[in-house]
Amino acid sequence: MSHRLTRRSFIGTSAGALITATSCSSEEQAADVSQTESPWVKDSNGFILHPTNLETRLDHLRGLLTPNEQFFVRNHAPTPLIAAETYQLRIEGDAINQPMTLTYDDLLRLPTATNLAYLECAGNWRKFFQEVTGQVASGGQWETGAVGCAMWTGVQLGHVLELAGVLDNAVDVNLFGMDGGEFNRPMSLATALDSDTLLAMSMNGSPMPPDHGFPVRGVVPRWPGSNSVKWLNRIVVSSTRQWVKNNTTSYVLVGDQWPADRHSPADGMPIAALNVKSALALPRPAALHAAVQTIRGYAYSPEGPIRRVEWQADDAGWQPARIVEPVLPRAWQRFEFTWNATTGTHRLRTRATDARGNMQPETVPFNAKGYLMNAILSYSIEVT
Ligand code: MTE
């Protein structure tokens, strides 16, 4: 790989260490990348399989953190294998004062930040549009497992942008991945500067696994998972809105109740926030023995923490579920309740309410691409 330096400069100090930045021309692509044959690297046993994605089975999870081996994978192209030694991250754009390039070691020397946050694909629960609205949305038919909760450690994106110097006219920040097609999705400057937004290098205490973005990925809490760009190698800060595939034709709300923004070139409103949900740690359909059962589940919202979760069996009225500690603003919330399961077919439902008072609705308006489904789900349980 060619690597042509044009200038080398000191850009700041951090934790006593001198950080160096390499300024180089933007056509350079220094990192060694190889391609896997299969869409992902991890063992797919225990996942619900989709053509290019792996869905977590919530009934296989126990703790607060989703183990890396069980964390869902959403890939638009096969997982690339990237060498940390030659990795470079370029920060550029017309709203950046001094375009710069950081190596993996440069990033490791910056002050670290840790976030315990859930990450969810905007298409999670897409399959249930049919059940709730009678209409089938296009795209992967995820059930409830395109979500997970991890401890992400890295550098605040805002810190890196500060080093490069963000100009007053900055509007949008776009992160680009090194996978086929350079996956990217812009976010607002305010979101990029939010202290929760990370360039993560570690997941649950281990170096970022290949399928989740090694060596560096974005983690953008509250926004759809598509903003948490994996295999990150370029950040573009611009003085105007950036319109790309993933905020004009994908990850936009298209439907009668979602009029397109007349001032944008997008097909519908670009999604900028997830919504409140709760799901049970049960397979669908579920079979249980007649007994007093502890039923577990996960609730989450971009406006965390979750304030309460309620449950109901066979339409017998809402009752409060127990909240399982800890209660954290960006993490998902574990909950449980005791249910006397008697022989027969039953229907369990749960609904969550977040810190802002947002509660899951009975139904949601359809959108053609099947995003942000959060209507109260029904679980059919066969008790024998
Ligand atoms: N980043 C790149 N480079 N390529 C991708 O295909 N998929 C996005 C996002 N980041 C994607 C990406 C989507 S749609 C989601 S939901 C999350 O990654 C999923 O992250 P995970 O695979 O680590 O669970």
Alpha helices for 124-266 (secondary structure H): 128-133, 157-164, 189-193, 245-248
Mean pLDDT of 315-342: 97
Tell me the C-alpha distance between 264 and 273, whole Å. 18
pLDDT for residue 27 is more than 80 = no
**Which of 119, 183, 203, 250 is the pocket-test mutation for ligand 1 (most atoms within 8 Å of CB)?**
183
Mean pLDDT of 272-293: 97
Share of the chain above pLDDT 90, in %: 88
Least confident of 1-15, 180-194, 278-292, 364-378: 1-15
- Split at pLDDT 50, 70, 90, the class of 260 is confident
Token pair for 211: 């399928």
Q: What pLDDT is recorded for position 256?
A: 87
Ligand 1 atom 12: the closest Cα is on which residue? 229
Q: What pLDDT is recorded for position 9?
A: 26
Give the DSSP letter of residue 141: -
Contacts of 153 by beta carbon, 8 Å cutoff, 6+ apart: 112, 113, 114, 115, 198, 200, 201, 202, 203, 205
What pTM did the predictor assign? Answer: 0.92
Closest atom of ligand 1 to 74 CA is: 22
Mean pLDDT of 31-49: 91
Give the DSSP letter of residue 32: -
Least confident of 36-45, 112-121, 211-220: 36-45
Task: Convert the pLDDT of each residue in 50-79 to its tens digit.
Answer: 999 999 999 999 999 999 999 999 999 999
Pocket flag, ligand 1, residue 127 (CB < 6 Å): no
Residue whose C-alpha is closest to residue 123's, from 197, 50, 218: 50
Mean pLDDT of 284-304: 97
| Distance between Cα 226 and ligand 1 center (Å) | 5
Residue whose C-alpha is closest to residue 103's, from 92, 87, 91: 87
Q: What pLDDT is recorded for position 267?
A: 93
Q: What pLDDT is recorded for position 30?
A: 58
According to DSSP, the β-strands at 277-280 and 286-288 are unpaired
Using the CB atoms, write b or e for 119-148: b if 16+ within 10 Å: bbbbbbbbbbbeebbeeebebbbbbbbbbb
- Split at pLDDT 50, 70, 90, the class of 18 is very low
How far from 134 is each of 198, 214, 363, CA to CA, in Å?
Answer: 39, 40, 11
| Distance between Cα 74 and ligand 1 center (Å) | 5
Contacts of 48 by beta carbon, 8 Å cutoff, 6+ apart: 54, 55, 56, 57, 143, 145
Pocket flag, ligand 1, residue 183 (CB < 6 Å): yes
Pocket flag, ligand 1, residue 174 (CB < 6 Å): no
Determine the 3-state secondary structure of 112 from DSSP.
Answer: coil
Task: Convert the pLDDT of each residue in 156-204 to its tens digit.
Answer: 999 999 999 999 999 999 999 999 899 999 999 999 999 999 999 999 9
Mean predicted lDDT score pLDDT of the chain: 92
Q: What pLDDT is recorded for position 20?
A: 34
Q: What pLDDT is recorded for position 258?
A: 83
Task: Convert the pLDDT of each residue in 334-379 to its tens digit.
Answer: 999 999 999 999 999 999 999 999 999 999 999 999 999 999 999 9
Q: What pLDDT is recorded for position 37?
A: 78
Pocket flag, ligand 1, residue 72 (CB < 6 Å): yes
pLDDT for residue 19 is more than 70 = no
Mean pLDDT of 292-321: 98
- Split at pLDDT 50, 70, 90, the class of 11 is very low
Q: What pLDDT is recorded for position 259?
A: 78
pLDDT for residue 17 is more than 50 = no
